[in-house]
Structure 1
Amino acid sequence: MVWPSRRVAQAEVVAVAARDGSRAKEYAKQHGIASSYGSYEALLADPDVDAVYVGLPNGLHGQWARAALEAGKHVLCEKPFTANEEEAREVQALARKRGLVCREAFHYREHPLMEHLQSVLCSPGAAGKAAAPGLARRAPVGAPAGTNAGDDQAALGGVLGRLSAIDVAVLIPKWVFGGANIRFQETLAGGAAMDAGCYCLHSIRSLIGGKPQVESATATLAPNSQVVDGSMRGALRWDDPHRSSIRATFTASLQHDGLFPTSTISVRGDKGSLQCSNFIMPVFGNFVRLTTRTEAGDTTTTTTRVYGSGESTYYYQLSRFVRDVQAVQEAAASGDAGALVAASNALAEEGADSIENMRLLDQVYTAAGLAPRLPSALAIMRQLSLAKAQPQETATRLT
């Protein structure tokens, strides 16, 4: 967040907090940040802070997003938004009640590469819809001739024709995090589906639209764990008539055997196919390979690389967040009823996106035979309760 803030004129990092005040102070000194705090509460009490970035472990996202909203701060919260759907609903309800932006930090979605994919596939919302306050999306990037990207459902698939399959994979090599990382801790809402699978589900939803359901999921447990997934595979389906022919599959892994992290999207239709590489970090190299077939059976393959202005996904994300916050602040200051209603509706739409992704993550864990994740406070209480009960059960059996 520090580096992008130096590229976005309207954003400035003014404070940082850590549980260890000396670490926060050293970080502030290293990055030229004016204030540092030894507690999160102290930072939230700072009147110079307008918005907060929550980059804590998964199980703490909801707790501190709520605290920031209660303190009157706008929130950019790391993905996954919360530990589960119930917590996501609670946080977003509070955000709307307070009239504050509370955005899930899917940084990839603001990059021109994602907009290009949506345009090629004529995804719902690809043409000119405002996805949230402050930003009206540009016209489709290179929309295929002969398609109508504004027709949300009838045109879905674009030059690929009627879609039949989409597959998304986010694979992180095991050397990146090792085995003792916080991403494998039950009390921190860890798991491959949470950290990598959330990207899979969100990108599928962003490109296909609708309201998918989890059809199946299979987890491979992390070493020395009975509850945390090191990798997760799953399949989704749609029940609405515009998408019922589409099968979605995903693979998320934090323990992949490969050498480099990969993030790929593959889409098939009755008139062609699309492959996209590195959709999460496109600034480091990407391509979109589009193969189309004519009725005569002739095929054409084109490869496109999308970099936009050359900025990182984090720059685009922070720029979007700043615009959203400014739009909400201006609507509140204007007193204009229409502007306030528009801002409120946009905030509700933004919140619904995060809630929907957490709904699917809960379904994934349930389908895999694992429990949906818990916020850290509840997970710790559960572990303590189980630890207390275990000796009593043993004593009962012995007597």
Structure 2
Amino acid sequence: MSGSEIWADVAADVDLTVAPEQRRRIGVVGAGAIVDNAHLPAYAAAGLEVVAIHDLDADRAADVAARHGIATVHSTLSAMLDDPSVEVVDVAVVAHAQPDIVRATVAAGKHLLCQKPFTPDLQTGRELVELARAAGVHIAVNQQMRFEEGIAAARSMVERGWIGEPTAMEFRTNIATDFSQWPWLLASERLEVSYHSIHYLDSIRSILGDPERVFCHGGRRPGQAPRAETRTMSTLVYPDGVGAVLHVNHENIAGDVRAEFRIDGSEGSIRGTIGLLYDYPHGRPDTVELFSRVLPTDGWLPYPVTRRWIPDAFVGPMAGLLAAVAEGGEAPTAAADNLHTLALVEALYASMQTREAQKVEA
């Protein structure tokens, strides 16, 4: 079997096309850089219509709207929620500001895509999930890394049994991140796990499921600007000897960038790179290679990745939400599922504080 024949099925699995009958008109809350550079370009490329935007900085909202062809700039959240043309609300604000916006949007009966982390704490997340369930409103969370083509392709290969039974997964990232791009993060009491490794954790969950216990050590570089952890080493323990490891450092002063992932199984392995982190924020496509005794492959077989994490993967969570709204069921990153990612984050911070392994309680 040729490489092109092998990859045809994987390409179908990672396709992010939104069917015309699933599309709904979108209103965006927040006009920051991630909306400008990721959300809006991804939605435009997918043929999704953004009809309105609101931000506390009215001038910023007007500028973003003008450049992306958004017809309406709302001066208040209530005006956005009263707009009958807005069917789905995409919330892209900091975590502590999100719950009140979610409560108001649920009360207005509109479906939501929320930024990650979904809420600052697990209890609030549970409350919002129950509010939405009672109101018949769908909430999904913008955990878009699981839709990044490299990660999505790797998940497809695992699900097809091409590496046999998964035994281990790892992310190893050694980069220099200028956190001054996000001034509010410099003073945050939580940083690396809540705002970066949460992507890896959600991606691991999408492939291996939920771990039983975790351990995490977090550290800082002397003299660094951020208050919280910028270097973490985490271990996730699953039943039957399966495990996952994350080694993440944002304070690399040597310049030898590394951003890799690997999944091992009983009959093969998948390895790849996270292209975005080699040239952030522009990035490059991931690389993914498969070694399989099931197919079999002749050594390592490269998968032809063409898309990038930013902006391309950002259509994934919205596409999942729109499918759930149109057809029923749950989105892949539904808020109810994302509570498990939040619980994993909480367990890692508890381990960091106690220096002991923690059971994950969702």
* Counterpart residue number, 2:34: none
RMSD after superposition:
3.4
CA distance in 1, matches of 2:258, 2:103: 33
Check if 1:164 corresponds to 2:180.
no
**Structure 1 counterpart SS, 2:230:** strand
**Structure 2 counterpart SS, 1:121:** helix
* Counterpart residue number, 1:154: none
Contact 1:24–1:36, Cα closer than 8 Å, also in 2 = yes
1:121 CA drift (Å)? 1.6
The 1:104/1:196 distance shift into structure 2, 3 A limit, reads same
Identity over the aligned pairs, expressed in percent?
21
The 1:174/1:81 distance shift into structure 2, 3 A limit, reads same
* Counterpart residue number, 1:336: none
1:119 CA drift (Å)? 2.8
* Counterpart residue number, 1:150: none
Check if 1:174 corresponds to 2:177.
yes
Listed as ranges, the matches of 1:1-399 within 5 Å are 1-9=39-47, 11-122=48-159, 143=160, 158-170=161-173, 173-175=176-178, 177-178=179-180, 181-186=183-188, 190-209=190-209, 211-221=210-220, 223=224, 228-239=228-239, 244-257=240-253, 259=255, 263-278=259-274, 284-292=284-292, 300-307=299-306, 312-328=312-328, 343=329, 346=330, 350-369=334-353
- Further displaced range: 318-327 or 13-22: 318-327
The 1:46/1:247 distance shift into structure 2, 3 A limit, reads same
Contact 2:263–2:271, Cα closer than 8 Å, also in 1 = yes
Q: Deviations for 1:11-43, whole angstroms, at most 9, x for unmatched residues?
A: 321211111323323332333222213333332
Gap runs ≥5 in structure 2: 1-38, 355-362
Contact 1:58–1:80, Cα closer than 8 Å, also in 2 = yes
Contact 2:276–2:285, Cα closer than 8 Å, also in 1 = no
Following TM superposition, where does structure 1 have runs of at least 4 consecutive aligned residues deviating by more than 6 angstroms? Answer: 279-283, 308-311
**Structure 2 counterpart SS, 1:325:** helix
1:327 CA drift (Å)? 2.6
Amino acid at match of 1:6: A
* Counterpart residue number, 1:397: none
1:162 CA drift (Å)? 4.4
1:363 CA drift (Å)? 0.3
1:201 CA drift (Å)? 0.9
**Structure 1 counterpart SS, 2:114:** strand
CA distance in 2, matches of 1:253, 1:76: 29
**Structure 2 counterpart SS, 1:357:** helix
Q: Deviations for 1:349-371, whole angstroms, at most 9, x for unmatched residues?
A: 9333210000000001110008x
1:93 CA drift (Å)? 1.2
CA distance in 2, matches of 1:260, 1:107: 26
The 1:236/1:316 distance shift into structure 2, 3 A limit, reads closer
Contact 2:150–2:272, Cα closer than 8 Å, also in 1 = no
Contact 1:25–1:37, Cα closer than 8 Å, also in 2 = no
Amino acid at match of 1:267: I
Q: Deviations for 1:236-283, whole angstroms, at most 9, x for unmatched residues?
A: 1123xxxx2112111344444475976432122344332122277899
1:198 CA drift (Å)? 0.7
Contact 1:214–1:367, Cα closer than 8 Å, also in 2 = no
Contact 1:169–1:200, Cα closer than 8 Å, also in 2 = no
CA distance in 1, matches of 2:126, 2:93: 19
* Counterpart residue number, 2:15: none
Rg larger in 1 or in 2?
1
**Structure 1 counterpart SS, 2:119:** coil
Contact 1:170–1:199, Cα closer than 8 Å, also in 2 = no
Q: Deviations for 1:220-247, whole angstroms, at most 9, x for unmatched residues?
A: 1473666x222322111123xxxx2112
With the length of structure 1 as denominator, give the TM-score of the two structures. Answer: 0.67
CA distance in 2, matches of 1:181, 1:301: 42
Contact 2:140–2:317, Cα closer than 8 Å, also in 1 = no
**Structure 2 counterpart SS, 1:300:** coil
Contact 1:21–1:39, Cα closer than 8 Å, also in 2 = no
With the length of structure 2 as denominator, give the TM-score of the two structures. Answer: 0.73
CA distance in 2, matches of 1:37, 1:170: 40
Contact 2:87–2:110, Cα closer than 8 Å, also in 1 = yes
Amino acid at match of 1:364: L
Contact 1:92–1:351, Cα closer than 8 Å, also in 2 = yes
Gap runs ≥5 in structure 1: 123-142, 144-157, 329-342, 371-399
Matched positions, count: 308
Q: Deviations for 1:107-129, whole angstroms, at most 9, x for unmatched residues?
A: 2333554443123222xxxxxxx
The 1:7/1:366 distance shift into structure 2, 3 A limit, reads same
CA distance in 1, matches of 2:345, 2:112: 22
CA distance in 1, matches of 2:97, 2:184: 12
The 1:271/1:31 distance shift into structure 2, 3 A limit, reads closer
